[in-house]
Chains A and B, each alone.
Chain A
Amino acid sequence: MSPVKLETVSSALPAEEAVSAPRLRRFASVLFASVLAALVGMTLLPHDKYLRYQALSDPATPRAYWIYERIHFDPTPIDIAFIGTSRTGRSINTKRLQEDLARRGIKAHAANLYIYEDGRNMHYALAKELLEHRKVKLLVLEMTEWEDRKPHRNFVFLADPQDIIFAPLFVNLRYFSDLARLPGRQVDLFLETELNALGLRKPTFVPPPYEGPNRDDSEYIVTRDGKKHYFDMVRTREQMEALRRMQEASITPPLLPPSLSWLEYRLPRYYVERILKLAAQHGTKVVFLYVPRYGGPDFPPPYRRYAGRVPLINPGSRVQDYRFWDEVTHMNWNGAKAMTDYVADQLAALPYLAHGRAAAR
């Protein structure tokens, strides 16, 4: 059926003839092809990856830039790398860990490469950057009492373009959002890189002078305003219990029946497998470190999938003393010391750092 004109016949005007439906389709096709070509072109723009890591500048406590500096600019070996969320950041002090190991005759350098918030794809992005550029003996991957279904909301800031484009599409809540944002990120970083080269860049965030090979955030953090915030507060048992109840009320239980957990948790499992594969390719051993919450189970249920393949360091109930906790998911400095010491004990018992033991002798 031919379209009915709204008003008088516009074909009376020679250069303004009515648009036919096929012509509209042609126009839309050319437009769509142009959009696609332009987006692909933008995605291919090169940039300085260090600027990419600076772009993920958490307003309060940026640290991605340091991870990049530690991997690329600091020749200090990274024998043990911790990758996880702020739980790992607040519970492992690498300086103390190194000292603990040294007392046991193991000379090893550790780096805590945690990044705020959950999302296994972010752990993959960090592991990839690390393992492709440094020889790492042991990768300690955080495990908690639950698996996060969702991808990390800042994955698009740090990941390589191909890891965003070829990320699993199925049950990936941020796939299209990340994909749509990628060309913009690439253009911004390209312009930043070029302006930087010309000396015209005016960054919103300037990394501080290098903070050394052990940037630990377990005793205190330094916020952007330069203030130190110590984690030395000890709450009462009642306070911790109240916080635990609140936190437990906010936990979203599995949405699908156990038989469909493969579907619900496809994304974190996919990325853990990729990390394990990547580590194997680079000759890096992997262990899981259970970093519980206050009042959490003594054993992490998600570990069952990897039992027999990957060792687990499990502090169990040793860190459940209420005096070890700043709040439900983050330890205070007392807790971090206890956790670090326990982890050092366990690492020393593993065979992976044997070369370090020999070197120390």
Chain B
Amino acid sequence: MLFNSYAFLFGFLPLALAIFYGLRARGHRAASVPFLALASVAFYAYWKPVDTFILVGSVVFNYFIARLMSASSVARARSLLTLGVVADLGLLLYFKYLDFLLGNIAWLAGATWNAPRIVMPIGISFFTFTQIAYLVDCYRSRTSERDFGNYALFVTIFPHLIAGPIIHHAQMRPQFARLRSQAIEPDAILLGIVIFVIGLAKKVLLADNLVNAADAVFNAADHGARLSAALAWVGTIAYTLQIYFDFSGYSDMAIGLGLLFGVRLPLNFDSPYRSKSIIEFWRRWHMTLSAWLRDYIYIPLGGNRHGEFQRLRNVFVTFFLGGIWHGAGWTFIAWGALHGTYVVINHVSRKLRPAREAPSAVLAAGKQFGTLLVVMVAWVFFRAKTIAGATHLLASMALLGPSRSTVSVPDVSLYFWIVLGTAIALFAPATHQLTRYTAKLNEPLKVSSEPLLGSLARRAPVLGASAATAILCGCLFAAALARIWRPAIFNYFNY
């Protein structure tokens, strides 16, 4: 079920909220936690009921592995960890990469490969990574979740289940404990509504209005159609904005939904296109994946503990694997390798020429532009279906293509959405800044009571409990509802 579908907005969500708060209002706070887990499994089952067995099987398996680890010697725990991680990766390998691997082996052997039509269960990358992290954390701390309901909810909680943010058990456990014993603060619910609406608007009003142009240009590139430089740039810019608003919109919706159920989920985006270096970009883009890759790949590989060369090698390998995580295809590998190379170059250049403390505005703008440019080049590989399609598009962008195109963008309104999207991506505050949301459990949620117009006049807009915020959110929600009468899918569901 898509968050931007009528089935979700008018069916699943109101029903889940009604039962969840109904239970709590009748004093069954503890029961609301397993209910949320059940509702999350039902949410997942809506896509393809048979895949629910894979999800539930994976949850049960990892739960017992962790339980066994917490009661085992170091050596046995290590064996169990290996077993758990291998099984998790094996599941991922089978569903996500087997076709690709066997296809390439067959190609190398000069044979033909008839793909066995393995359909990947939705969200498998996310729930697998979440559980691998959990197993590693359990191994390190030698503790594990005793309550199966808590564990099941931790993995399956529906706002994050399909496309993240990737969460850690340590973040969720105290929140589930509070859910069982304490009331949910109205601040969380109000912020949840506001953040969800912002995310819905990002996805539906911005990303979905850019998708046709991006699709038209990239599909044309993949088919070798003639593309002018202008059109190639328009398509690339459209996709750059589309993927940002699509994924950050989804993440906002996830955070908003989490809050509606009294759970704070981690931030996933922090205005990444404002980054002035590629290293900064990766601190702002898909932040929970970056942290996961750092904690569970980069550091175990040795991190920066064995000298500069090893560090750079580890950085590259981490990004390379990050690329593979996104999909089974050479374009994703190229994307990961490209970002690995960017980050390595960034580290080397920092070593050679340490950054000035206060760079000029022109230099800062130049850095931002340069960062965005290389990110866009990498997005071409990420979006194209083939390496040939990507290079064809890049050649057109570099003025090496024809002067006229055989395709055109679907609608002139696209330019409006590009200008608006660019302005928002580059100049507007991030959702958490607008709402003062924090995922840190030791910091209170600060819902502003300041009038929206007052905060706008101060050039520090904040969306809080004011009537103007409610009206703005109401209009955005209505506009999003109007836009989804012909719904589109989320990009990151594919990864």
* Chain A residues proximal to chain B, CB less than 8 Å: 1, 3-10, 13, 15-21, 23-24, 26-28, 30-35, 37-39, 42, 156, 176-177, 180-188, 191, 195, 200, 202, 204
Complex: A10 Cα to B437 Cα, angstroms? 13
Complex: A204 Cα to B486 Cα, angstroms? 14
Interface segment among B86-94, B125-133, B407-415: the answer is: B407-415
B296 within 8 A of A: no
Complex: A309 Cα to B483 Cα, angstroms? 45
B474 within 8 A of A: yes
**Distance in Å: Cβ of A78 to nearest Cβ of chain B:** 32
- From the candidates A5, A32, A35, name the one contacting B185 in the complex (CB within 8 A): A5
**Distance in Å: Cβ of B6 to nearest Cβ of chain A:** 5
Residues of B with C-beta under 8 A to A33: 474
Complex: A135 Cα to B392 Cα, angstroms? 59
The reply to whether A38 and B478 contact each other, CB–CB distance below 8 Å, is yes
Complex: A184 Cα to B475 Cα, angstroms? 13
Q: Nearest CB to that of B178 among chain A residues?
A: A6
The reply to whether A42 and B482 contact each other, CB–CB distance below 8 Å, is yes
Q: Nearest CB to that of A12 among chain B residues?
A: B444
The reply to whether A24 and B190 contact each other, CB–CB distance below 8 Å, is yes
The reply to whether A35 and B477 contact each other, CB–CB distance below 8 Å, is yes
**Distance in Å: Cβ of A281 to nearest Cβ of chain B:** 32
**Distance in Å: Cβ of A90 to nearest Cβ of chain B:** 28
- Chain B 182-198 per-residue mask, 1 if CB under 8 angstroms from chain A, else 0: 11111111100100000
Complex: A28 Cα to B465 Cα, angstroms? 10
Complex: A360 Cα to B481 Cα, angstroms? 55
B442 within 8 A of A: yes
Assuming A33-B474, A183-B482, what are 10 further A-B pairs, CB within 8 angstroms? A9-B444, A10-B446, A19-B187, A27-B190, A31-B470, A38-B475, A42-B482, A180-B481, A187-B483, A202-B411
- From the candidates B183, B411, B473, B482, name the one contacting A39 in the complex (CB within 8 A): B482
* Chain B residues proximal to chain A, CB less than 8 Å: 6, 10, 178, 182-190, 193, 408, 410-413, 436, 441-450, 464-465, 467, 469-471, 473-475, 477-479, 481-486
Residues of B with C-beta under 8 A to A156: 485
The reply to whether A195 and B413 contact each other, CB–CB distance below 8 Å, is yes
Residues of B with C-beta under 8 A to A188: 485
- From the candidates A32, A182, A187, name the one contacting B474 in the complex (CB within 8 A): A32
Residues of B with C-beta under 8 A to A200: 412
Q: List 24 A-B contacts (CB under 8 A).
A: A3-B183, A4-B182, A7-B443, A10-B187, A16-B464, A18-B186, A19-B185, A19-B465, A21-B186, A31-B193, A31-B470, A31-B471, A31-B473, A31-B477, A32-B474, A34-B474, A35-B481, A37-B474, A42-B478, A180-B485, A183-B481, A184-B483, A184-B486, A202-B412
Complex: A195 Cα to B484 Cα, angstroms? 20
In the complex, the 5 A-B pairs of residues with the closest C-beta atoms, listed nearest first: A34-B474, A184-B485, A38-B478, A30-B470, A10-B444
Q: Nearest CB to that of A23 among chain B residues?
A: B465
Question: Counting chain A CB atoms within 10 Å of each CB, which of B444, B450, B484 scores highest?
Answer: B444
Residues of A with C-beta under 8 A to B442: 7
Residues of A with C-beta under 8 A to B478: 34-35, 38-39, 42, 183
* Given the contacts A7-B444, A38-B474, A30 and B467 also touching, CB distance less than 8 Å: yes
Complex: A183 Cα to B474 Cα, angstroms? 14
The reply to whether B465 and A6 contact each other, CB–CB distance below 8 Å, is no
- From the candidates A10, A28, A37, A185, name the one contacting B445 in the complex (CB within 8 A): A10
- From the candidates B188, B408, B449, name the one contacting A16 in the complex (CB within 8 A): B449
Question: Counting chain B CB atoms within 10 Å of each CB, which of A26, A42, A180, A200 scores highest?
Answer: A180
Question: Counting chain A CB atoms within 10 Å of each CB, which of B6, B187, B449 scores highest?
Answer: B187
